[in-house]
Amino acid sequence: MSLLASFITAYKNKFIKVIPTFDESLIGTLKKTQYTLLDDLLSPSPQLKNALDKLQIRAEEPMKVAITGQFSSGKSTFLNALLAKNILPTGITPVTSKVNYIRYGEEFKIRVHYADGRDEYHDVSNIAHFTDQREFVEDIAYLTLYAPLNILKDVVFVDTPGLNSQAATDTQTTQRVLKEVDGIIWLTLIDNAGKMSELKVLEEYLGEYQNKSLCVLNQKDKFTPSQVEETTTYVKTAFGEFFSDVIPISAMQALESRSHDKQVLMQEKLEMFLKSLHVKLENNAEKIELDEIERDYTAYQHEINSVLQSDLSANMELLSASNIDKVLVFIKEEIQPKASQSKDFAIKKEIKNIASKLIAQHGLFLEIYDELKEQIISFEVEEKQTFTALKGKFLLDLKSAFMRIEQIIETIADATYNHMTTQKRVRYEAQKSGFFQSTPCYAPFEYQAPKINADQIYKTLFYEENIIGKMFKQYVKNLSLIQDEVNENNRIVYQGLEKRILKWQSPYEIIRKNEEIHSDIEFANIRKFASKAYENILKPFSDEIADSYAKISSEFNHLSSAVSFNYQNATEVCVAFLENKIEKSLKLYEENPTKFSLYHPKMDEIKERLRTSFHLYELENMMNTNRTFLSKDYDRLIEKFAVLKEEKIAFLEKKKERHLKVIGKIEELLKEVL
């Protein structure tokens, strides 16, 4: 293989996922289900894998048939007859206190399953110790008996404690088993059949299982054929709603005949030979003689030939009389076909149930994200309305604050105007001289010159009464109140979002799965996402509010300092300007009174000069237009919050994509396998 071909093969193996093909059998359906639902995309839980593994085992294992009945109906004897071997203990008390699963195995052994999860293997001869309720068996959950019997390749028998045991837990255990199995054999003594006590038990426990239940009347050998037929007919009529059929049998006859069956006898001879050989090899591994093994094997062959040549016709007649074969036929022809169909239906139903739970899980995550998305959307609508209303309110508040500056200027202008006086001044005007007069002659003229009493103005406005200082303090206080109110309202707006998000966050920060098969990883991710609600959602909104706070604080500080720290200086600048203008006009007037007039400041001129000194036109742009700095900031917040809303919605939609993809995969699986 060339280097390039090797590279391509390695690349495909590592990066290109090959989708396997699955047949349409039940096993194929399960394998496809496992392939889909255990994909890393779903972050599957161990419980999900376990549930699918159990379905796989259920699909592969034989049908289950439960043997149940009332006390002393001979369940264990009947099972021994079906197995053609005395394995299960029998007695006059309710011996079977635990569920016994009887399965095919390569050798006889029992597996004890303890309630704490431990397992132990024991020799089958010890089974009574673990099933007899007279023994201390409370810590045992159930037993599994393995036997190398051909019948167990097609069926798993479930030996139950019964439905009228002395222990209530036994009855509850049996009820649970009846729901799980494919077939039910109700075993009752023929002389007890049809009694009211039995009817009550059947009505309570077997009413739902008529399609998979068989009634077996035991100990038919104790009655005449006519009595057996009469009882059988009666039970079919009286209890027909509970059973598909009624078969009278003799478990003892069946056990006796089947225990002498040639195949059974040959199997027993083989087991004995192998067991003896095993013991000899184990105890005398180095000393064992091949001649001894050959002698044992020759003896075993003689025994087998003896069994094959024996006349067991009487046993065959006894087997036929026991009617046990009719039970086996019912199992094969009635229970097994239904069990196969039922198993297919039940497993596919469980696949649908598992898939529905997983879809519900991811649907829940979608709802969680949508709930958060709805909170953000509704907040943005509410926030926009609130900011628009605040924008209008503070537009008026700033205009009102601006009017306070106008009032201050009015007050200063009034004081300035009212403290303008006149003072007597003398000017000298040249007179016409005589023809022979060589030096000019100047004549004095008195006039009233305008004068601004600056000291009195300052004394009135800033010192004695400090009128302007008080007015500016009130102006600054008013600005501070507006600033505080703006910040408080902005904080309340943000808190509105914060409360929404925290209310959303509260249940999902501690959310836990309510179905075992749900993904632990997915729920951990949701908890982690919810715990980081500030970083994921709130922080950029909080940052914008903080940025707004910094911007408007700077603007309010400017409004405050630009006026309050400068109002006296601005007044002095205005007065000095007027004084300078008066002084210039005096000089011009005195130089040429016919050309220049005296300058007397008018009220409007004083106000205009004060506006210039106070930089009022700059302040007017900030405070007395429809585009104040607060209006601009609210417009910015509205725009920023709208952008953030879209970003967060896109963020949440991205989060939802994977869950939607998972739901799509599961729904596609259901279409393909169901």
- Give burial (CB, 10 Å; 0-12/13-18/19+) of 506: exposed
Angstrom distance (rounded) from CA 280 to CA 256: 32
- Better pLDDT: 7 or 531: 531
Average pLDDT over residues 505-534: 95
Mean of the pLDDT values across residues 236-250? 88
Specify the pLDDT at position 93: 43
Region 8-23: what's the mean pLDDT?
68
What are 566-579's pLDDT values in tens digits?
788 888 888 999 99
Q: Compare 655 and 108 and report the one with higher pLDDT.
A: 655
* pLDDT value for 595: 87
Q: Do 156 and 66 form a contact (C-beta atoms < 8 A)?
A: no
- Please tell me the predicted confidence (pLDDT) of residue 255: 79
| % of the chain with per-residue pLDDT over 90 | 35
146 forms bridges with which residues in the sheet? 103, 109
Among the ranges 206-210, 560-564, 621-625, which has the highest mean pLDDT value?
A: 621-625
- DSSP codes, 279-318: HHHHH-TTT--HHHHHHHHHHHHHHHHHHHHS--HHHHHH
* Lowest-confidence region among 91-105, 318-332, 531-545: 91-105
pLDDT grade, residue 314 (50/70/90)? low
More confident residue, 352 or 302: 352
The lowest-confidence range among 163-167, 186-190, 442-446 is 163-167
3-state SS, one letter per residue, for 376-434: HHHHHHHHHHHHHHHHHHHHHHHHHHHHHHHHHHHHHHHHHHHCEEEEEEEEEEEECCC
Q: Dihedrals φ, ψ of 73, to 5°? A: -90, 0
Question: Higher confidence at residue 561 or residue 5?
Answer: 561
- Over the stretch 316-335, which tens digit does the pLDDT of each residue have? 777 788 888 888 888 888 88
**What is the predicted pLDDT for the residue at 283?**
67
Quick: pLDDT tens for 138-158: 688 888 999 888 888 888 998
- Map tokens 């607060």 to a residue: 630
pLDDT at 446: 87
Lowest mean pLDDT among 215-229, 241-255, 274-288, 410-424: 274-288
pLDDT tens column, 25-75? 889 999 999 999 999 989 999 999 999 999 998 888 888 888 888 766 777
Which residues lie closer than 8 Å to 532 by C-beta, 6 or more apart?
none
pLDDT at 512: 95
CB 640 within 8 A of CB 325: no
d(CA 406, CA 402) in angstroms, rounded, equals 7
Most confident of 283-287, 547-551, 559-563: 547-551
Report the pLDDT value the prediction gives residue 531, as an integer from 0 to 100. Answer: 96
> At 159, phi and psi to the nearest 5?
-90, 120
For the cut 90, the answer to whether the pLDDT of residue 368 exceeds it is yes
Is pLDDT at 212 greater than 90 in this prediction?
no
- CA torsion, ordered 651, 654, 655, 661, to nearest 10 deg: 170
Q: What is the pLDDT of residue 94?
A: 46
Dump pLDDT digits (tens) for 76-95.
Answer: 788 888 887 777 776 544 45
d(CA 282, CA 288): 10
pLDDT of residue 92: 42
Q: Dihedrals φ, ψ of 103, to 5°? A: -120, 165
pLDDT tens digits for range 611-662: 888 888 888 888 888 889 999 999 999 999 999 999 999 999 999 999 999 9
- CB environment 598-627: b (16+ within 10 A), e (fewer): bbebeeeebbebbbebbebeebbebbbeee
Across residues 405-422, what is the average pLDDT?
90
Residue 378: per-residue pLDDT: 95
> Do residues 589 and 597 touch, judged by C-beta distance below 8 A?
yes
> What is the mean pLDDT of the segment spanning 275-304?
70
3-state secondary structure at position 242: coil
Reported for 230-233, long-range contacts at CB under 8 A and 24+ positions apart, including other chains, are 231/190, 231/193, 231/194
Contact criterion met (CB below 8 Å) for 453 and 419: yes
Name the residue with higher pLDDT: 449 or 290.
449
pLDDT digits (tens, 9 = 90+) for 382-392: 999 999 999 99
* pLDDT of 452 strictly over 80: yes
**Which pLDDT belongs to residue 289?**
65
